[in-house]
Amino acid sequence: MPAPLFPALADGSAGEALRFGDHVLTYPDLAAVAGGLAAELPRGRVAVWATPTAHTSVAVVAALLAGVPAVPLNPKIGERELAHILTDSEPQLVLAEPGAELPAALAELPRRDIPLTGGKAFATEEPDPETPALIVYTSGTTGPPKGVVLPRRAIAATLDALEDAWGWTAADVLVHGLPLFHVHGLILGILGPLRRGGSVRHLGRFSTEGVARELANGATMLFGVPTMYHRIAGEVGENPVLAKALSGARLLVSGSAALPVHDHQRITAATGQQVVERYGMTETLMNTSVRADGERKPGTVGVPLGGVDLRLIGDAGEVVDDLETVGEIQVRGPNLFTEYLNRPDATAAAVDDGWFRTGDMATRDADGYVKIVGRKATDLIKSGGYKIGAGEIENALLEHPGVAEAAVTGEPDDDLGERIVAWVVPDGEPPAAEELADHVAKLLAPHKRPRVVRYLDALPRNDMGKVMKRALGV
C-alpha cells in the first residue's frame, strides 16, 4: 500500500499546520475538517474557487484525501477562459469560501461552502500514485489553456526532492503571499509544508511588513516571485527591521521567473543572505534548484533535483555538451505530468521518448548549474547570425541606475534577421537609448546591444509576476 501523501495528518501530529491571519488550523483540526469534507465529495472532479485563504487549502487537502482530482480556479479569471475550463474539465461540484461571490458560469454547478471547523478524520486507503491529484490550467501563449493532469506521484516526488535540496524539515515555518491556483503557491507553498509536517503562514496579500513580521516571529523560510523580491530589494537597504528579519531566515527562495542579478546583490548586501532560485513548470513541477548546502550562483537556477534527468538539445536535435552553446531544456523523471486533459495531440507533441520539451533555452556551466536565457518562442533572438538570450540583456539593463524594470524581445529586421528591442520602465528621467545600448555593449558584447528602446510606465505581468511579452507586441 502506498505511503500517505501527508503523514502528519495520518499519525496524529499536534503542531500548527496552517495560519491565515486569524484562522489557525493544527494538524488535528485539519485532519478533522478536511476529512469531513472529503467524505462528502463526489467521485468525479471538483472545482476549487482558489482564493488565498485557509478555505482553499482545506478544500484541496480534502480532495487529495478523497482521491478526487481538484481543479483550482483563479478568482480573477475571465469569462471566456472560465467557460473553457469548465467545459474541458467537467467538474461535478465547486468548493468555495463562504460568502464568496462566484461568476455566473459556475451557477449551474452544485456549490459546497468550505468549512474551517467540525468534521472528523477520513479513513481511506492511499490512492495509487498515478491517480490524478490536480488539474492545473496553463496560460497558453496560443489557443485556450491546457489542463495539466498532475498525479500524486509527481507531487510526492517533487516535494521529497526539495526536502533533500533545501534541508526542509518539520521544524520549518514557511511564510508567503502567493496565489493558490498555481504550482508555486499551492503545491510548493501549501502542500510542501504539510508533507513535511511543518507549517505555513500565508499573508493573504504580499507585503514587506508581513514578511518582516513573520520572519521575526518564528518563520524560517520565505517563498516569493521576482516582483516581490524586487520590492524587498528596493526597501531592505533603508529598512533595518526588514533587513534584520531577512538575515535571520534559514532560506529565501525565488521562483516562477528569473530574479535579476542586481536584486540578488542588493538583498545580499543588506542582509548577508543569498536568495536561492529554482526552476519548474506546471507540467514538470520542480526540475532544478540551487541547493541549500551548495554554492549560490546568482543568475542560475541550480542543478537537477534528485530523480530528475536534464539535457540540452540543439537546433538539429543533438545533445549539447559544451559550456557555451544554448540548447532547449528537456527533462524526464517522476516529477512529470501524466497528460494534457483531452489533448492527446498536445501531449504527444510535448514529450519525446519520455523527455518533456520545456521550450526553455539554457546553458550549463562546468559544475552543472543551469542558466536559463529565455523561452524558445519569445526570448531567443536570432540577430546577425548570433543566438542571443533575452535574459542576459535584461539583467545588463537592470544594472543601469536609470532602469527600474526591463524586458527584451526581438522583432523582424531586413538586415539582421531580428533586431533586439528593449522595453524599459525608467527610474526617474529616462536614459537616452544610445546610452542604454552602449551600457549593454560594454557589459556583454556589441552584437547584444538593443537597436530599439521603448519606454513604458509599467511592464505587463501576470498574477505570478511573469512579464507577458505577448502583450508587448511579440
Output the pLDDT for position 139: 64
- Whether residue 360 lies inside any domain: the answer is no
Task: Give the number of other CB atoms < 10 A from CB of residue 75.
Answer: 21
For the chain, the domain total comes to 2
- Whether residue 215 lies inside any domain: the answer is no
Give residue-wise pLDDT tens across range 198-247.
Answer: 999 999 999 999 999 999 999 999 999 888 998 999 999 999 999 999 99
Task: Give the number of other CB atoms < 10 A from CB of residue 119.
Answer: 21
Output the pLDDT for position 246: 98
- Whether residue 323 lies inside any domain: the answer is no
pLDDT grade for 112, boundaries at 50, 70 and 90: very high
C-alpha gyration radius of the chain = 22
Q: Are 7 and 169 in contact (CB under 8 A)?
A: no
Range of the domain at 394: 380-472
Query: Which of 157, 185, 213 corresponds to the end of one domain?
Result: 185
Q: What's the whole-model pTM score?
A: 0.85
**Type of residue at 217:** N
The residues that bridge with 332 in the sheet, in sequence order, are 309
Query: Which of 185, 207, 222 corresponds to the end of one domain?
Result: 185
Give residue-wise pLDDT tens across range 7-65.
Answer: 999 887 889 999 999 999 999 999 999 999 999 999 999 999 999 999 999 999 999 99
- Whether residue 295 lies inside any domain: the answer is no
- Whether residue 250 lies inside any domain: the answer is no
- Which cell numbers in the block locate residue 352? 519525446
Interval 123-138 mean pLDDT:
92
Q: Are 396 and 422 in contact (CB under 8 A)?
A: no
- Whether residue 50 lies inside any domain: the answer is yes
Give residue-wise pLDDT tens across range 63-111.
Answer: 999 999 999 999 988 888 899 999 999 999 999 999 999 999 999 899 9
Query: Which of 143, 160, 185 corresponds to the end of one domain?
Result: 185
The more confidently predicted of residues 176 and 462 is 176
Output the pLDDT for position 180: 96
pLDDT grade for 141, boundaries at 50, 70 and 90: very low
pLDDT grade for 327, boundaries at 50, 70 and 90: very high
- Whether residue 397 lies inside any domain: the answer is yes
DSSP 3-state assignment of 57?
helix
- Whether residue 223 lies inside any domain: the answer is no
In whole angstroms, what is the distance from residue 288 CA to residue 278 CA? 6
CATH number at residue 78: 3.40.50.12780
pLDDT grade for 265, boundaries at 50, 70 and 90: very high
CATH number at residue 414: 3.30.300.30
Percent of the chain with pLDDT over 90: 72
The residues that bridge with 387 in the sheet, in sequence order, are 382
Residue 124 CA to its chain's centroid (Å)? 31
